[in-house]
Amino acid sequence: MAEKKLLMDEYILTTSEQALKNIQNSYKLTKELVDLYLQSNCKSICIVASGSSSNGSTAAKDFMRRYLGVSVEIMPPFTFTHFNHDLVKNSFTVVVSQSGISTNCIDALKKLRELGKTAIGITANVKNDFKDYADVEIDYGVVEEKEPYVTKGVTLLAVFFMLFSLEAGKRTGYITEEIYQEKKEQLIDAFTVYEAVLEKLPKFIDKHIKAFSSMQKVFMCAAGGAYGAVCEGALKCSELLKVIAVPLETEEYIHGYNLQLTPHQTVFFLDTEQKTSERVRKIYEATCKMTDAAYMLTSFDGLEEDENVITIATKVEQSISSIYCLPFFQFLVYDITVYLDSLEQHPLLKEFNKVVSSKSDKYDKDYIRRMNCEFEQ
C-alpha cells in the first residue's frame, strides 16, 4: 500500500542552490525570451498564469516594472482566453504553467495562435502537453520538482522573470551595466536571507505550534514586492491545511476585512519596505489588540523582543523581498501539515475531479501518483 508523503521540505531546502546556478547562468537561461521580447517592440507585458505560477509571476512583477520600464500585468488564463485578450493585444504575452499540463493555460496558447500571435509557453516540464500547443517553449530552470504542492518552482519562476528583466533592461539600455551587476548581486544576497529565514523558522514554529495547528481563518498581508509571497502563502494554506486564507495588500486589510477580527483570527504581516514600515507596524500593533495570533516577518530592527516576530535585517530591496518571504510560508505550512497529518482530502473530491479537472489527460503516471499524494515509502 502506498504511503502518503510530502517532498516539499526537500525542494524548499534545495531552492537556493538551483537559484544561484540560474543567476550565474542568467544570459543563457533567459536569452530566447529576451530575443523574442526585443523583436516584438512591445511596451507592455502580459503574463498569463494561474495558481502558483501566477503567484511566482506576481512576486517578480514589481521588479520587472522597475528594471524594464514597462507595465506588467498578470492575468488568469480563463480571463485571457474568454474576456480580456483584446485588452492586451499590443502586449508581449507569455503563458506560464510549471507542470505544462494546465488545461486553461493550453487554451490560452490556442487563443494566442488564433489571434495570430506567437504562442510562447514557459514551463518547467518541456516534455508535457505545452510542447504541442506552444510555438516556442521555454524551460525556466527548475530541473525537477515532482511534487503537486510546488515550492521550488514558484521561487525559481520569480527569479527567472527578474533575470529576464535585467537581461532585457540592459540590452535595451534602460539600465546600466552597473545597475545590472548590482541587482544580480542583490538577488544572490536574497538567498542568503532565504537561508536565514529557514534557520529561524523551526524554533519559531515550535514556539507557536498550538496556535499554528489551530488556525481557522487567516489573513496574510503584504505590499509591493512581497505581495506575491502572501498570495502563495494563502494558496498553500488552502491546499494543505484546508484553512481559508486570504491574501491582502496591507492597507486594504484595515478597510473592512479587519471588522471580522476576533481573538480566534490569525493574521500574518510582511514588513519589507523601510518607508512603509512604521505604518505596517502600527497595523500589526492594532491587530495584536484583537488577537494573540498576529505574526510578522520584518526586514528591520526594533521588534527583536516580540516572540511573534521574526527579524531578518537586510538591505535587499523590497522588489526582491518575495524571494526570502516565500519560504516563511512554504515551510511553515509544510511543517504544520506534517504535524497535523492533514494531507487527506475529502472523499467527495474524487467525484469533483470526475466532472472537471484543471489538468490534461496526458501526464505521466508518476505525476498522477504525486497529484494524488500516493508515494512509495
Q: Which has the closest alpha carbon to 46: 83, 82, 84?
A: 84
Q: Specify the DSSP element, H or E, that contains 79.
A: helix 77-79
For the segment 92-109, what is each residue's pLDDT rounded down to a tens digit? Answer: 999 999 988 888 999 999
pLDDT at 313: 87
- DSSP character string of 315-356: ---GGGTHHHHHHHHHHHHHHHHHHHT-----TTHHHHHHH-
For the segment 281-322, what is each residue's pLDDT rounded down to a tens digit? Answer: 999 999 999 999 999 999 998 898 999 999 998 989 999 999
Classify domain 8-175 at the CATH superfamily level. Answer: Glucose-6-phosphate isomerase like protein; domain 1 (3.40.50.10490)
CA distance 305 to 318: 24
Q: Which has the closest alpha carbon to 117: 155, 71, 80?
A: 80
CA distance 101 to 107: 11
Q: Using CB atoms within 10 A of its CB, is residue 86 exposed (0-12), middle (13-18) or buried (19+)?
A: exposed
Asked if 267 and 295 count as a contact pair (C-beta separation under 8 A), the reply is yes
Q: Give the start-to-end residue ranges of the domains of the chain.
A: 8-175, 200-340
CA distance 231 to 58: 8
Q: Classify 298 as helix, strand or coil.
A: strand
Residues of the chain with pLDDT under 50: 1-3, 364-368, 370-377
pLDDT at 101: 84
CB-based contacts of 190: which residues, under 8 Å, 6+ apart?
A: 316, 320, 321, 323, 324
Asked if 290 and 266 count as a contact pair (C-beta separation under 8 A), the reply is no
Q: Using CB atoms within 10 A of its CB, is residue 351 exposed (0-12), middle (13-18) or buried (19+)?
A: exposed
Asked if 4 and 147 count as a contact pair (C-beta separation under 8 A), the reply is no
pLDDT at 357: 66
CB-based burial, 141-180: b 16+ in 10 Å, e otherwise: bbeebebbbbbbbbbbbbbbbbbbbbbbbbeeeebeeeeb
- For the chain, how many helices (H) and strands (E)? 14, 10
pLDDT at 362: 57
8-175 and 200-340: identical CATH topology? yes
The class level of CATH for 200-340 reads alpha beta
Q: What is the pTM of this model?
A: 0.91
Q: Which has the closest alpha carbon to 106: 95, 98, 114?
A: 95
Q: Which residues pair with 219 in a beta bridge?
A: 246, 267
